[in-house]
Amino acid sequence: MNPILGGFGRLIPTPKEAEDLSRRSLSFGSNLYLRRAQMQASPEDLLAVIASTKFRRSALDPESRLDIEGKVRKAIVEGCPLEFTVPFGAYKNWRLPTGPGIDWAEVFNLDYLSSFASRIWARHPPGVIVSYTFSSELMALVSNLRPAWIHQYRIGFEALVACANACLPEGMSFHLVDINSLYPSEEAFRSEYDSNLVSVEREWVDGLLVEEFMNGKLASAERNLCPSGQADLSPCSPLEWKSLVRQAAIRCEALDRMSKRRAFNKQSDRIQLVFVRGPSRSLHVGCNIVSARHFWASAGGAEIRGGKALPIAIGPEMLANGSFTACEPEATESLPICARPAALYIKHVT
């Protein structure tokens, strides 16, 4: 339960459609494609599966297509697993009542990417690896989150990933990769990060960054900066708050520029998956079958229409309109306590 916002409001009995969706999603296998081919698929066929509009949410630009095709061909020639990376925040948006731990948005994302990976696994005998990548602890500094919140989220997500892996066939797996661990020491990581801070600050002051880019960073930083987190920022004046938001935006950009982060995620043999349009050398996919947004900044929900429930990712602003009610599906009882997601939000659509 979010320590700032309190509980979920009145919990309702879980509708049958939502309970069915919950059980299917927690099996991490109901949508798997398990008819495995006897022979290796051609690069063209594998690329078609990877870039299928069943999962892809925007056009594949020429640079990304060339990048993915090259990595597919290399994996086939070398007989190696195809590897994908999913850069993510590894924390829960502080504005969500489901935080600071995991909720159904994480469950639906793992289930969705299991389905995505299975279609590649079925055509590529060496297998598929999907790595969720993050930088530990720094979000406490960037967005003023409490370290205990970040730790709770990580423990829960690690446990949920373990549950998913237990349901997957041999040759297909999820991993968690802390970018900090790719550096020889924490000091080496912080040294590069501090250097990036100086560079970004200089570029920001000198006007070397595109205004649209800067405005996007500032908007994101203001949404994510917590006024009552590790430090109490509530007494700040509007001018002081504006300065803190700018500082958070610069810190976030410095983190995005970490060399081993980019090297691991996409400047390698791995294919980067993203949930927003724009990043280069990446495949833009949904976070579940309906939504395309950052799952860690969303609450998991179910939209019930015509006797069927579909998974959705709900942002804090959407939850605030009061059209959702919360429930706790019985399906979670099969999970270890630390892996159990917080309340599922329900919306009936006529």
Q: What is the mean pLDDT of residues 170-183?
A: 96
pLDDT, tens digit (0-9, with 9 covering 90-100), for 30-69:
788 888 888 999 999 999 999 999 999 999 999 999 999 9
Q: What type of residue is 347?
A: K
Q: Could you count the other beta carbons within 10 Å of the beta carbon of residue 196?
A: 19
Q: How many CB atoms lie within 10 A of CB 201?
A: 16
The Cα 265–Cα 272 span in angstroms is 6
Amino acid 129 reads: I
How large is the average pLDDT for residues 115-123?
97
Query: pLDDT band for position 165 (50/70/90)?
Result: very high
Rounded CA separation 269/41 (Å): 18
pLDDT band at 29 (very low <50, low <70, confident <90, very high): confident
Give the C-alpha separation, 279 to 283, whole Å.
Answer: 9
Better-scored residue on pLDDT, 322 or 331: 331
Q: What is the pTM of this model?
A: 0.94
User: Considering only 125-134, 203-212, 233-242, which range has the smallest mean pLDDT?
Assistant: 203-212
For the ranges 182-196, 255-269, 290-304, 316-330, the lowest mean pLDDT is seen at 316-330
What does the pLDDT read at residue 5? 44
Q: Using pLDDT thresholds of 50, 70 and 90, give the confidence band for residue 6.
A: very low
Query: Is the model's pLDDT at 82 over the cut of 60?
Result: yes
Query: Does pLDDT of 100 surpass 90?
Result: yes
CA distance 88 to 212: 22
CB atoms near residue 281 (< 10 Å): 18
pLDDT at site 8: 58
Q: Are 333 and 16 in contact (CB under 8 A)?
A: no
Greatest extent of the chain over all pairs of C-alpha atoms, in Å: 66
Mean pLDDT of the chain: 94
**Domain range summary for the chain, segments of one domain joined by +:** 32-182+258-290
Place 3 in a pLDDT band, splitting at 50, 70 and 90: very low
The average pLDDT across 9-15 equals: 82
Top CATH class, 32-182+258-290 = alpha beta
Question: What's the confidence (pLDDT) of residue 209?
Answer: 85
Residue owning tokens 């960037």: 142
Cα separation, 210 vs 89, in Å, equals 24
Find all residues with CB under 8 Å of 322, minimum gap 6, and list them.
Answer: none
